[in-house]
Amino acid sequence: MATRVRECSIADALAVIGERWSLLALREVFFGVRRFDQIQRNTGASRDILATRLRTLVGAGVLEKVQYEQHPPRYEYVLTDAGRDLQAVLTTVREWGERHVTEGEPPTVWRHSCGAELATRTVCVHCGEELRPGSLELIRTRWLEPA
């Protein structure tokens, strides 16, 4: 029997950012760490894997590789608009990790521009209510036909 797989933007997104070292490299760029050696050191990724992941992220338009020195040529990685738009993803993943995986105090603390220590909630843009389990109903889902 031919089977069909659910078409899904989560799967699409994970094709770009779904590898462990991709999201950790992006975390470093959000920290302001832009150079290969420093990203490698701060994440603990192997150089080969990190180079591959960064190439994918540049290819997908999430990071841009910018030359900042001519002699010798040196490059740094900066977020594109699509990359900056990952802030909510990184934040929701981090806060979930703090609540359910990390033991003890959160290792990273950010201050929001309003002055408070950052804590977030994800809300419906229409009513402003926080997303809660059981508050969603599926309207439409599509399926990929077998190739």
Positions in 104-123 near a copy of itself (CB under 8 A): 106-114, 116-123
| Interacting residues of 7 by C-beta distance below 8 A, sequence separation 6+ | 141, 142, 143, 144
Q: To the nearest whole angstrom, how small is the minimum distance from the Cβ of residue 70 to a copy of itself? A: 28
Using DSSP, state whether 17 is helix, strand or coil: helix
User: Which of 7, 47, 51, 66 is in the footprint of a copy of itself by CB under 8 A?
Assistant: 7
Q: Is 46 in the site for a copy of itself (CB under 8 A)?
A: no
User: Which of 20, 47, 55, 74 is in the footprint of a copy of itself by CB under 8 A?
Assistant: 20
User: Which of 11, 47, 59, 74 is in the footprint of a copy of itself by CB under 8 A?
Assistant: 11
Rounded to the nearest angstrom, the gap between the alpha carbon of residue 47 and the centroid of all alpha carbons in its chain is 20
Is the backbone peptide bond immediately before 106 cis, with ω within 30 degrees of 0? no
State the Cα–Cα distance between residues 39 and 4, nearest whole angstrom: 39
Binding to a copy of itself (CB under 8 A) within 54-83 occurs at: 60-62, 79, 82
**Nearest to a copy of itself of 51, 87 (CB atom):** 87
Task: Check if the beta carbon of residue 121 is closer than 8 Å to that of residue 130.
Answer: yes
User: Which of 69, 70, 73, 127 is in the footprint of a copy of itself by CB under 8 A?
Assistant: 127
Residue whose tokens read 């591959």 = 52
